[in-house]
Structure 1
Amino acid sequence: MGYINPFTSEIKYLQILTITTTIFVVAAGTRVLGQDCGCSPDLCCSQYGYCGTSDDYCGRGCQEGPCLSPPSSNGVSVEDIVTDTFFNGITDQATGSCPGKGFYTRETFLDALGSYPEFGTIGSTDDSKREIAAFFAHVAHETGHMCYIEEINGTMRDYCDKTTSSQYPCVSGKGYYGRGPMQLSWNFNYGPAGSSIGFDGLSNPEIVATNSTISFSTALWFWMNYCHDAFTSGQGFGATIRAINGALECNGGNSDNVSARVEYYTQYCNQLQVDPGNNLTC
């Protein structure tokens, strides 16, 4: 139970209330024109269907309008960094009876990675290693070294947020509790994650616990939308803790959990022979 925080997605609830202002985008370059999304031609249509001109609208996920092009890749191969030795070094710490044994594999992680080319490829080679270490640090903490697929006692909790049910309506009999490497939770995360990845997150949330590639895709989706830009902009590992579970862990909320996440991160940085950088806590 210590590995799966049943309140992990509380911060995600807070984020959805200000979704158009909390996703930070690091983007530069030429603008691409095109519009038939309901916004005027000089406005961007964000990934959530809102019109505006800031990076929140014109950056990551921008659908139409003067969208910003993504930052240039550094050419790093994530596959070469996330080796069998690195990946199995995490999963091997889970006991043989763990439900995640055989479910979470390096192959399905790499399959999911194909849809997220910016992950681990922004900045210097050391920046890439740090982002990879940060991602897997949270995965290890959330799932007990990829032991758990579903949140313990998740079926006993109500993850249907009524304030977002008009946009992401909860389906009767479906549970939106934590599943997958990042323990995706709440209807307002299952809905857009499914739309982005290509599954019905509201009617079929269970697929996150039965299809390993989709499961890893939801973790990468959440990371790229809520953690990637903060981390690659130099805010440090602490910013990713705040994005994932800051409402409960940061500012003294649960210093033990923060320390555990930082320990995983520094351990994986050491394995990848990279300095973990500054601002590790929150």
Structure 2
Amino acid sequence: MTNSLYIFTLLAIFSAAGKWVSGQGRVADVVTDQFFNGIINQAAPGCPGRTFYSRSAFLQALGSFPRFGTEGSPENAKREIAAFFAHVTHETGHMCSRVEKDGKSRDYCDETNRQWPCVPGKGYYGRGPLQLSWNYNYGPAGRDIGFDGLNNPEIVARDPVVSFKTALWFWMRNCHNAIVSGQGFGATIRAINGQLECNGASPATVTARVNYYKDYCGQFRINPGGNLRC
């Protein structure tokens, strides 16, 4: 092998390995049809989410978040994907629900938040894969993603790409750094619902999330790591 060919081969190998940190192609390789459908097919046949959520919508939304599942070591990158879908599975009941079941009984309006004031008649209850809630989340999510979060929160339960974008938006702001830096799955639970679940508040719920995470890590053939609970 000539020196130039040897160097070219090495560069090709390094480039392929670098996909974990420089692109999102690997996420699609991990979130296969089999993996995605393995979650959603466990939902009851009549669930609205079964005809709403799709792998293609997830991958389309992923284009706006190139850091998801591509940073840190290859193992940590897969852990992030496993952690995200563990929470999605728990929050939606295997992607059964687009909207929080009892959400409409509350508006989830924080009237003290002046930056993102609630619009009369609008409800900011949980919608989407991670059940985006509260006006102070809908407002900035809409600003960053490109929809009117305060006046049109309903789009999160009507447009599957927007829906996945809100979940990825929340994840990248609150969970991404914790999981890729090796803080463990427990840190993501704390970021999502810590006050209601962590420090013994709801150990059964924490266990449910952890079990989904461990299952998906097993499917990806990776060690789930430590610090699984919060």
When normalised by structure 2's length, the TM-score is 0.90
1:227, 1:246 → 2: CA distance? 12
Native 8 Å contact 1:179 1:185 kept in 2: yes
When normalised by structure 1's length, the TM-score is 0.73
Native 8 Å contact 2:76 2:180 kept in 1: yes
Q: Tell me the residue number matched to 1:179.
A: 127
Q: Tell me the residue number matched to 2:35.
A: 86
Deviation, structure 1 residue 169 = 1.1
Deviation, structure 1 residue 124 = 1.5
2:29, 2:178 → 1: CA distance? 24
Q: Tell me the residue number matched to 1:257.
A: 205
SS at structure 2 position matched to 1:220: helix
1:128, 1:237 → 2: CA distance? 13
> Which amino acid in 2 is paired with 1:151?
E
Native 8 Å contact 1:137 1:261 kept in 2: yes
Q: Which runs of 5+ in 2 are unaligned?
A: 1-19
1:74, 1:214 → 2: CA distance? 24
1:217, 1:108 → 2: CA distance? 9
Deviation, structure 1 residue 158 = 2.9
Q: Tell me the residue number matched to 2:94.
A: 145
Runs of 4+ in 1 over 3 A off after TM superposition: none
1:188 to 136, 143, 146: 136
1:276 to 208, 216, 224: 224
Deviation, structure 1 residue 114 = 0.2
Cα deviations by residue, 1:205-259 (Å, 9 ceiling, x for unpaired)? 0000000000000000000000001111111000000000000100000000000
1:252, 1:213 → 2: CA distance? 35
Native 8 Å contact 1:74 1:124 kept in 2: no
> Which amino acid in 2 is paired with 1:153?
D
1:73, 1:273 → 2: CA distance? 19
Paired residue total? 210
1:157, 1:172 → 2: CA distance? 13
Cα deviations by residue, 1:150-201 (Å, 9 ceiling, x for unpaired)? 011211113110121x210111110000000000000000000000000000
Native 8 Å contact 1:74 1:125 kept in 2: no
Q: Tell me the residue number matched to 1:163.
A: 112
1:135 to 79, 84, 87: 84
Matches within 5 A, 1:1-282: 73-75=21-23, 77-164=26-113, 166-282=114-230
Cα deviations by residue, 1:10-37 (Å, 9 ceiling, x for unpaired)? xxxxxxxxxxxxxxxxxxxxxxxxxxxx
1:163, 1:245 → 2: CA distance? 21
1:120, 1:260 → 2: CA distance? 22
Native 8 Å contact 1:74 1:123 kept in 2: no
1:122, 1:262 → 2: CA distance? 22
2:198, 2:102 → 1: CA distance? 24
Deviation, structure 1 residue 74 = 4.9
SS at structure 2 position matched to 1:275: coil
1:108, 1:158 → 2: CA distance? 27
1:158, 1:208 → 2: CA distance? 15
